[in-house]
Structure 1
């Protein structure tokens, strides 16, 4: 947690806690329904939604971010709207146009590649379909979520280079692999971005010190909140893209607060992911219009919280997880 924040009593968090389950338009990151726990603090509504496979030590950092956003005033905004990218899951090429149509006015697309069970030819076909749909002026970035080894990544980047990539995000899992790959493909002029090597690392600055990336992809929840993320960016000294963790509109507002507070923001951000949902807790959802996302807090709609409430079993699972993560944070203070 940030040094300015204090840990509110667990009962105070539980008093407003709501667990929701939101369906997705297409399977994304192995998920078809996204679960999240929302609660309200003195500063407004906030979100705790670490992915279900994360352990309590990792998830507790997400809770620190949620508490910081709900209980502490956020850094001043330098902009009132954020340019965002479309996000294309690992869908068949024939489904690409339908996905892109959900992202109003976005001129950049992040395309998921290296999906388990798929082949490089599937990635090539998907990226080709994105290029055809967006035209020559569209920007395309690919995200492998660390699934390739160095040789596989080098081969894949060669195969995808004809589509004029803006950058390749987390092509390999480790910092050493990223550094080696960056050395190998530097002549091609395709930058390497690090995501998991920042948000899941014990030392989020290691990738910058190793010269293993040209830019960082940062997310507010996994890094412990807006202020902590800003401090990491300042120390890393690299350009950044602010992205979501498949958040509801409440969590996206936290990401937008981070993007708005950055001194420099040269890339479109991955905060348009509400467009991937078929339902949300805010009406209208915090989705892109004209390729832009407004900056500001949002308030969930009570009827939508009821309509999309998770089952009693899943609610109990999330509340138990919240309690364990609260205990973990209390030990860190």
Structure 2
């Protein structure tokens, strides 16, 4: 018998609550300022879905994450066009001497994303981190992610300096769309060969296509959960008319599976994807995690392991917090 649904194709709240598991996974290194990644996992008739908006996100924004989880568990993914997805390694804002250890967890890779502009770190720290990556991987494509941490003059100055290692692109160097357009214009006028990628200016905007209309980026970074699912992300990429990089929102293997579904469904995939972030966890929720092998992840389904769900179950207080959030967001998502 088909699963009963409420408005907008979302299962009843009771069904979601009955399948919910809240986990807290320890990180190997600090990432986005955290050492524990919490997420709520849902088990539907078609597989597992992940609801993991960061705690600071408001319920309205979090509702897109629930829509993505419902798509994964109750609707399924579009047919794939490819079965192997190239992925990059990710180097957090660690000291240069720790770079080899971080890279070693990813195995052989052809591309690396390096965090820069982290609070408490200087441009000298960023330059040293990039130099260490280039020393370890002379032929790899290197991209940097500033998470909007610079203003326009600082971004132009920093990227002019960091371009010396050979940057594939710079992701979200400044917070605003107008700022991205200005940075891009100044770099091009100066002949600095760094492409600009928009991330937060796509996934956190009420109008994710404005960045393309403003000529503010050369490519866009798309993440399944913040955009409301694989199908919605495919629509945004098609309408934007820009090359796309599929990236992770620091997901478990369940969330990575959705990212792989998006990358597998895009008509073109010109860049390695940021879907190798399970390697940043001490443990995953699957005994067969979705991690890179020889620079790529093969498209396959993944299941959460009951033992790991129990081992890494969040505290009762945090579980209650997440279930309360699920109730609120479900109300928003099913409103007429």
Q: 1:235 aligns with which of 212, 233, 239?
A: 239
Cα displacement (A) at 1:158: 1.0
Does 2:34 match 1:49? no
Q: 1:196 aligns with which of 194, 200, 218?
A: 200
Residue in 1 that maps onto 2:62: 59
Residue in 2 that maps onto 1:164: 166
Q: 2:320 aligns with which of 313, 316, 323?
A: 316
Distance (whole Å) between structure 2 residues aligned to residue 305 and residue 7 of structure 1: 24
Which segments of 5 or more consecutive residues in structure 1 lack a partner in the other structure? none
Question: Does the CA-based 8 Å contact 1:170-1:196 persist in structure 2?
Answer: yes
Does 2:154 match 1:152? yes
Residue in 1 that maps onto 2:3: none
SS at match of 2:255: helix
Does 2:180 match 1:185? no
Distance (whole Å) between structure 1 residues aligned to residue 298 and residue 48 of structure 2: 17
Cα displacement (A) at 1:295: 1.2
Distance (whole Å) between structure 2 residues aligned to residue 297 and residue 165 of structure 1: 33
Distance (whole Å) between structure 2 residues aligned to residue 14 and residue 294 of structure 1: 31
Does 2:63 match 1:95? no
Distance (whole Å) between structure 2 residues aligned to residue 241 and residue 106 of structure 1: 16
Cα displacement (A) at 1:298: 0.6
Provide, for residues 212-257 of structure 1, a one-character-per-residue CA deviation record: whole Å limited to 9, x for no partner: 0000000000000000000000000000000000000000000000
Does 2:290 match 1:275? no
Distance (whole Å) between structure 1 residues aligned to residue 76 and residue 128 of structure 2: 45
Cα displacement (A) at 1:5: 5.6
Question: Does the CA-based 8 Å contact 1:257-1:296 persist in structure 2?
Answer: no
SS at match of 2:49: strand
Q: 1:105 aligns with which of 108, 123, 146?
A: 108
Which segments of 5 or more consecutive residues in structure 2 lack a partner in the other structure? 1-6
Aligned length in residues: 328
Provide, for residues 116-155 of structure 1, a one-character-per-residue CA deviation record: whole Å limited to 9, x for no partner: 11111110010111100111x1110000000111100001
Distance (whole Å) between structure 1 residues aligned to residue 56 and residue 297 of structure 2: 29
Distance (whole Å) between structure 2 residues aligned to residue 204 and residue 330 of structure 1: 22
Provide, for residues 35-82 of structure 1, a one-character-per-residue CA deviation record: whole Å limited to 9, x for no partner: 010011121111000001101111111101111111113111001110
Provide, for residues 308-327 of structure 1, a one-character-per-residue CA deviation record: whole Å limited to 9, x for no partner: 11111110000000000001
SS at match of 1:221: helix
Q: Considering only aligned residues, what root-mean-square deviation do their CA atoms show, in Å?
A: 1.0
Where do 4+ consecutive residues of structure 1 move more than 6 Å?
A: none
TM-score when normalising by structure 2: 0.96
Question: Does the CA-based 8 Å contact 1:46-1:67 persist in structure 2?
Answer: yes
Question: Does the CA-based 8 Å contact 1:140-1:164 persist in structure 2?
Answer: yes
SS at match of 2:301: coil
Question: Does the CA-based 8 Å contact 1:24-1:277 persist in structure 2?
Answer: yes
Distance (whole Å) between structure 2 residues aligned to residue 105 and residue 125 of structure 1: 22
Residue in 2 that maps onto 1:255: 259
Residue in 1 that maps onto 2:72: 69
Question: Does the CA-based 8 Å contact 2:8-2:334 persist in structure 1?
Answer: no
Residue in 1 that maps onto 2:268: 264
